[in-house]
Amino acid sequence: MTITSSAVRSRTDLCSAIENELSGLIGKRASAATAYGADFARLWALAGKNVLGGKFVRPLLLMEAYDALRQRHHEHGPAETRRRETAISIAAAIELLHYAFLLHDDVIDGDLVRRGHPNLIGSLLAEASETARRDGTDGTRAGSDLHWAQTGGILMGDMLLAATHQSFARADLPHELRLRLLDLLEHTINETVAGEQLDVGLGDGVIAPDLRTILVMCGYKTATYTFELPLRAAAALAGADFAVENALATAGRHLGLAFQLQDDLLSTFGDPRRHGKDPFSDLREGKETAIIAHARTTNAWPDIESFFGKPELSVDDGAHVRRHLSACGAEAFVQGLIEEQMQAFNSQLTTTIPAGVRNVLLDLAGQLEGRQS
Amino acid sequence: MTITSSAVRSRTDLCSAIENELSGLIGKRASAATAYGADFARLWALAGKNVLGGKFVRPLLLMEAYDALRQRHHEHGPAETRRRETAISIAAAIELLHYAFLLHDDVIDGDLVRRGHPNLIGSLLAEASETARRDGTDGTRAGSDLHWAQTGGILMGDMLLAATHQSFARADLPHELRLRLLDLLEHTINETVAGEQLDVGLGDGVIAPDLRTILVMCGYKTATYTFELPLRAAAALAGADFAVENALATAGRHLGLAFQLQDDLLSTFGDPRRHGKDPFSDLREGKETAIIAHARTTNAWPDIESFFGKPELSVDDGAHVRRHLSACGAEAFVQGLIEEQMQAFNSQLTTTIPAGVRNVLLDLAGQLEGRQS
């Protein structure tokens, strides 16, 4: 079908444009980094490899929303071309922000692997250990190698956070509009940090795991920068009415929360052959999800609690807990929450959102259904 | 003397102006933070207390250099007033950058104390432990409390790094000049991060501790953001010639390195009653300084090495190592390095640097002599 193949081609073009922009942003810095020695340059090389290997969910959402919002304008002059180039630079900067958050999140969680591959910290650790093995100093400094690798994660996150701000600050835009985007960036960082702090506080037992806190945390930690920021930025760059921007942001937040809740359901009840993750890792880690928050309010909790947060949880025990979580109604409860979010999302679509960008959102929402990984 | 008291008054006025600006920058964010709950607001409250309790070394250097460079212009119109206000906002932003670096440095080094008081991480840890004691959950989660506190350090550092960029990006300046300051900020962050990485690599035994690496590390990690950035920013904001900016930056780097080397000498050979620090902490930590790098090249090293990096070093052993470090010529060698840096600093002063700003630098250099803490 012509429509499908043109849509596919258009997404491929967008991916290339975003990839080119990211290559430029990172390549420039990776070249400059060589002046500071091999270890510093290595940070940029690894970050470049990881960023460019991403799926560009956030920049694609920004650009598809932007293109849809500009569709009606039929302008093709140099000003339109320049503005679109700026939109691509902001879209790429949001991908750098995402990666900065991931890196600091990995440091905080002590993670060395992401989606089955070593993350930047895991790569630095493996390389330091390999050097130590070659030099015969391994064994004496395993702790130091991890410290070195996690330091690389903190520092690279800082540089990517700086690079994000540099792109926003240098955007080729009227000063007022640039300030508007800088406001958005500041708001996003505050909410994401607040969400990360809640998440860690829940995990460390410093913050009480009630359902409201968990839902607020999910919204702050993921929905804000993954959905609200790209949609608001697209609207601001496209010169859309503030009413449209707000409707997009609200729709995006609902969708973001639905995705996050579905992630939790998939991790606990999904087919590990599909999602490729340890099916009991959330239970072993004692992750405070909406599923767990509901289970705590049921009679099943005393039985579940004795297995929750136990790193040594066996496969049989895991399956037992999973049956309990389903039988006590926690699975259905969270499915209900997702439906609520999707209803709120759909009701936003019937408001001020123009048809083109509505289709972008519906396309994204379509990925939610039948999602298994 | 009239000159002294007017100089003192002028510095007091500058301190107030910087303090007001910082109060505004932090206060605005601290108020907004309350919307995200008590734990998030607590980060801003603690950061505000610590930042406002600082000595403002970097913003004072920037403003004193700026005022000296503008002295000859005798302009007092609204444009001059606006530019000076912008200079104060950039000076305050550099103090936020300093604090962001300190926080991430404290996370990386596992430090809970700075200058005899709990740092932000130490305060968060103490508060979480106090809450746990009250709730009767202490003992079961000591590790979690530290994790929670260090996460606060990472996240607050991120927000301060963001706030620094926001101030630079919003500076009320012609676009070209704002871009120039953004370039400076990017360059500074790269060098400081490279310096921090070298420092950690030396400590973790990943990078070989030769003298050249240690001197490069000191320059990158401290001199760049403490001396070069404020001086270059002052010159750019004051509209000074690029030759003047470069001479100031070079002078600043030499002075910065001299201060850093003197810090190392004071830590090892200084009077602990004056500097208030553990006199053997550098030796216990196995800190790779220029003193140690020189000692490694002497016959005294085998005797020193057995005590170096031993956390359990006794006071007697510490005094023994200190005598060795002095006798083997390491103390005199580093004194010689400081003299070299001061000669290079002085030779810059005779070049293109205007008299007023030369006095600012000489005043700073004067603090080096007779310094005991």
Give yes or no for residue A59 having a pLDDT over 60. Answer: yes
DSSP code, position B54:
S
ipTM of the complex: 0.94
B194 touches chain A (CB under 8 A): yes
Where is B178: in which H helix or E strand?
Answer: helix B175-203
Q: Which of B148, B154, B186 sits opposite A107 (nearest CB)?
A: B154
**Mutation target vs B (from A102, A197, A288; most B CBs, 10 A cutoff):** A197
Contacts of A197 in chain B (CB under 8 A): 39-40, 43, 151-152, 155
B155:A201 CB<8 A? no
For residue A5, pLDDT over 60 is answered with no
Q: A74-78, B5-9, B95-99: which has the minimum mean pLDDT?
A: B5-9
Residue A329, pLDDT > 70, answer yes
Whether residue B76 has pLDDT greater than 90: no
**Long-range contact pairs involving B102-107 (C-beta distance under 8 Å, separation at least 24):** B103/B153, B103/B154, B103/B156, B103/B157, B103/B160, B104/A154, B104/A155, B104/A158, B104/B153, B104/B154, B104/B157, B104/B196, B105/B196, B106/B153, B107/A154, B107/B150, B107/B153, B107/B154, B107/B157
The reported pLDDT for the residue numbered A228 is 97
* pLDDT tops 90 at residue A293: yes
**pLDDT confidence band for B2 (50 / 70 / 90):** very low
Helix axes A78-109, B142-169, angle to 10 degrees: 160
User: Which one, of A234, A228, A235, lies nearest residue A260 by Cα?
Assistant: A228
The answer, yes or no, to whether residue B199 has pLDDT greater than 50, is yes
Contacting residues of A for B189, CB less than 8 Å apart: 158-159, 162
Q: Which of B150, B147, B148 is nearest to B106 (CA)?
A: B150
pLDDT above 70 for A140:
no
- Closest residue in A to B213 (Cα) is A37
Question: CB-CB: which of B145, B169, B201 is closest to A148?
Answer: B201
**Region B341-348: what's the mean pLDDT?**
95
What pLDDT score does B274 carry? 73
**Range with the poorest average pLDDT among A88-102, B141-155, B261-275, B292-306:** B261-275
Distance, in Å, from the CA atom of A224 to the CA atom of A246, rounded to the nearest integer, reads: 13
Pairing of strands B113-114, A117-118: unpaired
pLDDT digits (tens, 9 = 90+) for A203-245: 998 999 999 999 999 999 989 999 999 999 999 999 999 999 9
What average pLDDT does range A246-268 have in this prediction? 94
Q: What is the pLDDT of residue A98?
A: 97
Hey, are the CB atoms on A39 and B206 less than 8 Å from each other?
Answer: yes
What CATH fold (topology level) applies to the domain A174-373? Farnesyl Diphosphate Synthase (1.10.600)
Separation of alpha carbons A168 and A90, rounded Å: 6
**Cβ-contact B113, B122 below 8 angstroms:** yes
pLDDT at position B75? 66
B165 close to A (CB below 8 A): yes
Check pLDDT > 80 for residue A363: yes
Residues 6+ apart with CB under 8 A from A230: A58, A59, A61, A62, A65, A91, A94, A252
Instruction: Measure A213 CA to nearest chain B CA, in Å.
Output: 10
Asked whether the beta carbons of residue B197 and residue A161 sit closer than 8 angstroms, the reply is no
How far is it, in rounded angstroms, from Cα A25 to Cα A232? 23
CATH topology of domain B1-172: Farnesyl Diphosphate Synthase (1.10.600)
How high is the mean pLDDT of chain B? 92
Percentage of residues of chain B with pLDDT beyond 90: 78
pLDDT, position B273: 75
What's the mean per-residue pLDDT of chain A?
92
CA distance to partner chain B, nearest, from residue A279 (Å)? 24
Q: In this predicted structure, what is the pLDDT of residue B1?
A: 39
Q: Using the beta-carbon criterion (under 8 Å), do A194 and B220 form an inter-chain contact?
A: no
User: Does B215 lie at the interface with A, CB-CB under 8 angstroms?
Assistant: no
B108 Cα to chain A: minimum distance (Å): 6
Q: How confident is the model at residue A369 (pLDDT cuts 50, 70, 90)?
A: confident
| B144: contact with A, CB 8 A cutoff | yes
Name the 3-class secondary structure at B25.
helix
Cβ(B261)–Cβ(B223) below 8 Å: no
Whether the predicted pLDDT of A144 surpasses 80? yes
Q: How far is A139 from chain B (nearest CA, A)?
A: 13
Band of pLDDT at residue B77, cut at 50, 70 and 90: confident
Segment among B2-16, B49-63, B158-172, B307-321 with least mean pLDDT: B2-16
Task: Please judge whether B145 and A170 are an interchain contact, meaning their C-beta atoms are less than 8 angstroms apart.
Answer: no
Residues 18-37 on B with a CB inside 8 Å of A are 29, 32-33, 36-37
Kindly state the tokens that stand for A350. 């019937």
Does residue A120 belong to the interface with chain B, where contact is any CB pair within 8 Å?
no
| Residue A40 · residue B197 · CB < 8 Å | yes
pLDDT at A103: 97
Residue B372's pLDDT is what?
64
Provide, rounded to the nearest whole percent, the portion of chain A with pLDDT above 70: 94
Q: Which of B288, B273, B275, B282 lies closest to B318 in space, CA to CA?
A: B282
Confidence of residue B252 (pLDDT cuts 50, 70, 90): very high
* Minimal CA separation from A290 to chain B, in Å: 20
What mean pLDDT do residues A147-154 have?
97
Q: A104 and B158 in contact by Cβ < 8 A?
A: yes
d(CA B260, CA B190): 19
Q: How far is B219 from chain A (nearest CA, A)?
A: 12
Chain A residues close to B197, C-beta within 8 Å: 39-40, 43, 151-152, 155
- Give the distance from residue B141's alpha carbon to the nearest chain A alpha carbon, in angstroms: 8
pLDDT tens, position by position, B25-63: 999 999 999 999 999 999 999 999 999 999 999 999 999
Question: Among A184, A267, A274, A197, which residue's Cα sits nearest to residue A227?
Answer: A184
- Report the candidate in A11, A56, A69 with the shortest Cα–Cα distance to residue A237: A69
Residue scoring higher pLDDT (A341 or B76)? A341
Contact A201 B166 (CB under 8 A): no
* Cα dihedral B6, B8, B11, B16 sign: negative
| The predicted structure's pLDDT at residue B373 | 63
Look at A144 and B220 and tell me if their CB atoms are within 8 Å.
Answer: no
Q: What SS3 state is found at B187?
A: helix
The segment(s) of chain A belonging to CATH 1.10.600.10 are 1-172, 174-373
Answer whether B327 touches A (CB < 8 Å).
no
pTM: 0.94
Question: What pLDDT, on the 0 to 100 scale, is given for residue B15?
Answer: 96
Mean pLDDT, range A257-264, rounded to an integer? 94
Taking the Cβ of residue B228 and every Cβ of chain A, the question of whether any pair is shorter than 8 Å is answered with no
- Lowest mean per-residue pLDDT among B61-65, B68-72, B274-278, B286-290: B274-278
**Mean pLDDT score, A186-200:** 97
Taking Cα atoms as reference points, which of A252, A257, A211, A243 lies closest to residue A65?
A252
Residue A9 scores a pLDDT above 90: no
Q: Do B193 and A220 touch (CB under 8 A)?
A: no
Which residue among A32, A154, A201 sits closest to B148, beta carbon to beta carbon?
A201
Q: What is the mean pLDDT of residues B100-110?
A: 96
Q: What percent of chain B has pLDDT over 70?
A: 94
